[in-house]
């Protein structure tokens, strides 16, 4: 701006010669200040150091923290503009950070990124643009930072629920307390009676031998198999807050598998669309959750029409023990369910099946919106019909002895854990 004013004044001085000396002085002053800033920004070994810290992997659907460590070697206060080349998947073309840094000071800047797709994300270089208070010149410092980082299913969510499960604080996140009905028959030990023990568990034979009240202690049945069956078909492509329903199902299956292993059960995985993809046998060895995480990360799909007959064949072939099957899928109409119902009934003959599908949140918004004309009234009527069909699907599944969860995408993980704990408490698995 200062250069533009001087040029304009120089041109003006030719038309009004009396101002020529003043313009000449201003031009000399501008040149002097420019030389001063040149020495400030490029003089000696003065520069800005930047280091970018990125996690080894990012968590899908979560806010991931990226850290920039800055250090100024300048002896004066400088003004910085930082452009970080973040992956193209985020589509942020105006990403910039502005700050002022005191002489010989360090600064730490944190910003967050929320990926919504699994896969590899490439970070480019970082650019720091340095100005002094004069702001006549700008120095560009390029910091090489090319790095490719994988985005895995939500391991942040998995760790969160794992810690809550260990500390028995799941109820604080919306997990319901489920009253146990009776007790399982897996005997653990005989111990002395203390006030508060269930009188129905008194062991009268032990009492007769020892002359003091003894009670039987039972534990939850362990080593039960919990399989996540993930539909990668066409209807799982629908988006919600940037993420597909498939990725919501993948995140929830990772969390429930980890919870099952922490509850001493075995967790396994089967994925399918027109053909069966991954089959991971249920287990709870030390690296089982790592195998599940890697298998979920590698899932690819063409979103074809799912074939439930091939799923049934694969389950019969690979799962011999009665297991809990958590089927993550989506049905939009009752007719869509009826096409697959016979295979679900066959699965329910051998296993405990829970069909987990999604509410259409856009339909709910459309129903609540006030209608102002005939067209909006028509759209509202169609939305109510489709929403009603979702409830009919739940009734139809229950009528055929199949458990179900109709959930909004953001509540999928909590609702799945609730159902798992409920079935455990009722000794159905």
298-329, pLDDT tens digit by residue? 999 999 999 999 999 999 999 999 999 999 99
Model pLDDT for residues 142-154, shown as the tens digit of each residue: 998 899 999 999 9
- More confident of the two residues 5 and 318: 318
| Cα-Cα end-to-end distance for the chain | 75
Confidence (pLDDT) at 15? 57
Confidence (pLDDT) at 43? 80
- More confident of the two residues 181 and 204: 204
Confidence (pLDDT) at 181? 47
Beta bridge mates, 326: 228, 354
Confidence (pLDDT) at 323? 95
Residues of the chain with CATH 3.40.50.410: 155-179+221-425
CATH code for the part of the protein at 155-179+221-425: 3.40.50.410
User: CA-based diameter of the chain, in Å?
Assistant: 124
Confidence (pLDDT) at 177? 53
Length of the chain: 429
CA distance 343 to 272: 14
Q: Which residues contact 52 (CB under 8 A, 6 or more apart)?
A: 66, 67, 68, 69, 84, 123, 126, 143, 145
Q: Return the minimum-mean-pLDDT range out of 97-106, 190-199, 217-226, 389-398.
A: 217-226
Confidence (pLDDT) at 28? 84
Confidence (pLDDT) at 93? 80
Confidence (pLDDT) at 278? 96
Nearest 5°: CA angle at 238, between 65 and 311?
105
Whether residue 251 has pLDDT greater than 90: yes
Q: Which of 56-70, 204-218, 383-397 has the highest mean pLDDT?
A: 56-70
Whether residue 96 has pLDDT greater than 60: yes
The interaxial angle of helices 245-262 and 288-297, nearest 10 deg, is 180
Residue 279, φ and ψ in degrees, nearest 5: -130, 110
Whether residue 192 has pLDDT greater than 60: yes
Confidence (pLDDT) at 312? 97
β-sheet with 225-231: strand ranges across: 276-283, 266-272, 225-231, 324-328, 352-358, 403-407
Residue 6: pLDDT band with limits 50, 70, 90: low
CA distances (Å), origin 370, targets 295, 362, 366, 378: 45, 14, 8, 12
Q: Under a CB-based contact definition with an 8 Å cutoff, are residues 325 and 352 in contact?
A: yes
- More confident of the two residues 33 and 419: 419
Q: Under a CB-based contact definition with an 8 Å cutoff, are residues 318 and 219 in contact?
A: no
- Of 269, 357, 359, whose CA–CA distance to 314 is shortest? 269
- CA 72 to centroid of chain Cα atoms: 36
Model pLDDT for residues 14-57, shown as the tens digit of each residue: 555 655 677 778 788 888 888 888 888 888 788 899 999 999 99
Confidence (pLDDT) at 191? 76
Residue 120, φ and ψ in degrees, nearest 5: -95, 135
Mean pLDDT of 278-292: 93
Q: Which residues contact 368 (CB under 8 A, 6 or more apart)?
A: none
Residues of the chain with CATH 2.60.40.10: 48-152
Mean pLDDT of 249-273: 95
CATH code for the part of the protein at 48-152: 2.60.40.10
Confidence (pLDDT) at 175? 55
Confidence (pLDDT) at 219? 55
Whether residue 88 has pLDDT greater than 50: yes
Whether residue 185 has pLDDT greater than 70: no
Residue 373, φ and ψ in degrees, nearest 5: -145, 180
């Amino acid at each position: 701006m200062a250069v533009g004013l001087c040029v304009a004044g120089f041109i003006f001085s030719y038309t009004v010669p009396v101002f020529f000396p003043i313009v000449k002085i201003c031009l000399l002053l501008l040149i002097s200040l420019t030389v001063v800033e040149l020495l400030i920004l490029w003089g000696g070994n003065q520069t800005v150091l930047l280091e970018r810290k990125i996690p080894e992997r990012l968590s899908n659907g979560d806010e991931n923290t990226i850290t920039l460590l800055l250090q100024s070697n300048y002896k004066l206060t400088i003004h910085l503009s930082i452009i970080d080349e973040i992956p193209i998947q985020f589509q942020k073309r105006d990403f910039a950070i502005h700050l002022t840094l005191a002489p010989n000071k360090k600064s730490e800047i944190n910003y967050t990124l929320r990926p919504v797709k699994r896969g590899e994300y490439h970070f480019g270089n970082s650019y720091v643009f340095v100005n002094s208070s004069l702001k006549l010149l700008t120095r560009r410092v390029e910091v090489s930072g090319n790095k490719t980082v994988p985005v895995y299913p939500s391991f942040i969510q998995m760790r969160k629920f794992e810690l809550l499960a260990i500390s028995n604080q799941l109820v604080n996140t919306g997990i319901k307390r489920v009253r146990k009905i009776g007790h399982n028959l897996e005997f653990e030990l005989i111990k002395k009676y203390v006030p508060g023990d269930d009188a129905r568990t008194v062991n009268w034979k032990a009492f007769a031998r020892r002359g003091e009240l003894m009670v039987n202690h039972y534990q939850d049945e362990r080593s039960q198999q919990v399989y996540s069956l993930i539909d990668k078909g066409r209807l799982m492509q629908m988006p919600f807050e940037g993420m597909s329903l498939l990725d919501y199902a993948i995140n929830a299956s990772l969390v429930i598998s980890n919870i099952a292993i922490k509850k001493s059960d075995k967790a396994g995985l089967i994925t399918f669309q027109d053909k069966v993809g991954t089959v991971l046998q249920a287990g709870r060895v030390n690296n089982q959750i790592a195998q599940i995480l890697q298998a979920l990360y590698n899932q690819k799909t063409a979103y074809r029409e799912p074939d439930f007959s091939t799923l049934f064949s694969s389950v019969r072939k690979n799962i011999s023990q009665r297991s809990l099957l958590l089927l993550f899928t989506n049905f939009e109409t009752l007719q869509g369910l009826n096409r697959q119902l016979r295979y679900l009934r066959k699965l329910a003959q051998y296993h405990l099946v829970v069909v987990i599908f999604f509410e259409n949140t856009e339909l709910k918004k459309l129903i609540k919106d006030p209608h102002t004309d005939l067209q909006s009234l028509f759209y509202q009527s169609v939305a109510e019909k489709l929403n009603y069909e979702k409830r009919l699907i739940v009734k139809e599944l229950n009528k055929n002895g199949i458990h179900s969860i109709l959930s909004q995408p953001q509540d999928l993980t909590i609702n799945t854990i609730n159902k798992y704990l409920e079935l455990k408490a009722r000794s159905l698995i």
